């Protein structure tokens, strides 16, 4: 058993950390020591990660202190989130919500998403010709979409963004994270009680009508609000910044708008903004890729690195909109594959297509590599994206 010491901090938006890539080429399933002293297995090849994420012997239950994503600031007797559950509880809870995120259901939102994007672009163009795109577009669009889906008043979106930022900030203390979670959950609890009294045509009301208990609806609402806006906002900012930096790719999409779906998949693969969900705890002895993993050992998939697996994606550090890279791992894989993947794809497609059409003169005000990137948080992104036209 070999041991290395690695950090999860990203050093470049264009490539995974060098030590992660070295593991992929030299020792793709490695027993490592994290910078905080924990020891666990890390996987770096796409096939091994897919095997891991589809194996029921690897648990998502974070209440166990041995789990790589164990959160000591969370009460051990708390109700679990969907992302922390194992079968059969996970199967039951996911089945109850899955119908809200089918391709057909999500596509029915396309006209409204287009209106939301156009409204944001209208407001942007009506003001000064230089803005922070994160504040003007990247955050408001997915925040408003998920708020409307859940039946949350959009007037409260700043509250959600502030709480999400407090929870996600790398320097936040356990107490600060716990307080942010508490504020959000208290709000959602009050909102669910309002839905019980006065149901509407929204996801939370439909879950209650389907017989899901109020506490379960609260937990689902909390998860969707957190996951439903920050991750997509980060992908919007990174995607726009990349297109403005790599003008050849921008020209390709302008000349070939039919490539937009492939562009979305390739940008998702290239940035792989969220890796925190790809951690598991072995509940019994098992083997992955010829390596023995013992019960009680933690396993972490470096999905950002697996999405650069050269045996699957030739020239993986190049952006290729014709690659059709839908087999990437940016939404995970297996039973816990991201519920909102269809919604995220649609929002990205609508935002990018609208910007290309309506603001063709859009440009960065500073070089791409000088942008302030979110290097240590649970999702990768850009703190601020100043653009002009």
The dihedrals phi and psi of 301, each to the nearest 5 degrees, come to -90, 120
Confidence at 170, pLDDT banded by 50, 70, 90? low
Q: What 8-state DSSP symbol labels residue 66?
A: T
pLDDT value of position 74: 61
Stretch 243-262: mean pLDDT, rounded? 95
Q: What is the pLDDT of residues 142-162, one digit of tens each?
A: 988 998 999 988 778 778 767
**pLDDT tier, 129 (very low <50, low <70, confident <90, very high otherwise):** very high
Q: 135-139, 150-154, 354-358: lowest mean pLDDT where?
A: 150-154
DSSP string, 269-313: HHH--B-TT-EEEESS-EEETTEEE-TT-EEEE-HHHHTT-TTTS
What's the confidence (pLDDT) of residue 168?
60
Each residue's pLDDT tens digit, 293-307: 999 999 999 999 999
User: Look-up: residue for tokens 């890390």?
Assistant: 42
For the chain, give every domain's residue range.
Answer: 3-75+95-388
The whole-angstrom separation of Cα 345 and Cα 342 is: 5
Q: Taking 90 as the threshold, does the pLDDT of residue 176 lie above it?
A: no
What pLDDT score does 1 carry? 47
pLDDT in tens, 47-97: 999 999 999 999 999 888 899 888 765 666 667 889 899 999 999 999 999
Nearest CA-CA partner of 260 in 354, 366, 162: 354
The pTM of this model reads 0.92
- Residue recorded with tokens 């990137």: 373
Mean pLDDT of 11-23: 93
pLDDT tens digits, 186-242 = 999 999 999 999 999 999 999 999 999 999 999 899 888 877 778 899 999 999 999
The set of residues, in sequence order, having a beta carbon less than 8 Å from that of 150 and lying 6+ positions away, is 202, 203, 204, 221, 224, 225
Nearest to 163 by CA among 135, 137, 149, 182: 182
**CA triple 359-364-365, angle to 5 deg:** 120
pLDDT at residue 29, rounded to an integer: 97
CATH of 3-75+95-388 among 3.40.50.620, 3.30.70.1400, 3.40.50.300, 1.10.630.10: 1.10.630.10
* CA–CA distance, 240 with 242 (Å, rounded to integer): 5
Cβ burial, residue 35 (10 Å; 0-12/13-18/19+): exposed
**Where residue 121 falls among pLDDT bands split at 50, 70, 90?**
very high
Instruction: Tell me the CB-side half-sphere exposure of residue 290, using CA atoms within 13 A.
Output: 3
* Token reading at 237: 């900012």
pLDDT of residue 154: 74
pLDDT above 80: residue 166: no
């Amino acid at each position: 058993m070999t041991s290395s010491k690695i950090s999860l901090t990203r050093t470049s938006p264009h490539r995974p950390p060098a030590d992660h890539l070295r593991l992929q080429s030299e020792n793709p399933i490695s027993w490592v020591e994290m910078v905080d002293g924990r020891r666990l297995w890390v996987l770096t090849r796409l096939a091994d990660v897919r095997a891991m994420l589809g194996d029921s012997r690897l648990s998502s239950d974070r209440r166990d202190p041995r789990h790589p994503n164990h959160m000591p600031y969370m009460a051990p007797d708390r109700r679990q989130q969907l992302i922390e559950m194992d079968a059969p509880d996970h199967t039951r809870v996911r089945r109850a919500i899955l119908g809200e995120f089918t391709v057909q259901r999500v596509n029915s939102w396309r006209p409204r998403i287009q209106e939301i994007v156009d409204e944001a672009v209208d407001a942007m163009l009506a003001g000064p010709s230089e803005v922070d795109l994160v504040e003007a577009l990247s955050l408001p669009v997915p925040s408003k979409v998920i708020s409307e889906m859940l039946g949350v008043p959009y007037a409260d979106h700043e509250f959600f963004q502030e709480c999400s930022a407090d929870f996600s900030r790398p320097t936040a203390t356990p107490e600060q994270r716990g307080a942010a979670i508490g504020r959000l959950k208290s709000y959602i609890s009050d909102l669910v009680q309002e839905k019980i009294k006065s149901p509407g045509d929204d996801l939370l009301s439909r879950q209650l009508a389907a017989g899901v208990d109020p506490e379960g609806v609260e937990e689902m609402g909390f998860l969707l609000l957190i996951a439903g806006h920050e991750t997509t906002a980060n992908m919007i900012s990174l995607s726009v910044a990349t297109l403005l930096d790599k003008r050849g790719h921008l020209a390709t999409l302008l000349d070939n708008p039919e490539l937009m779906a492939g562009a979305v998949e390739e940008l998702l693969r290239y940035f792989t903004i969220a890796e925190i969900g790809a951690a598991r705890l072995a509940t019994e002895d098992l083997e992955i890729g010829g390596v023995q993993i013992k019960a009680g050992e933690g396993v972490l998939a470096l999905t950002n690195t697996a999405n650069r697996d050269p045996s699957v994606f030739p020239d993986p550090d190049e952006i290729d909109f014709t690659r059709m890279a839908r087999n990437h791992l940016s939404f995970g894989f297996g039973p816990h594959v991201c519920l909102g993947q269809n919604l995220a794809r649609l929002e990205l497609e609508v935002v990018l297509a609208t910007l290309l059409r309506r603001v063709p003169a859009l440009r960065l005000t500073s070089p791409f590599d000088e942008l302030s990137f979110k290097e240590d948080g649970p999702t990768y992104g850009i703190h601020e994206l100043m653009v002009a036209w």
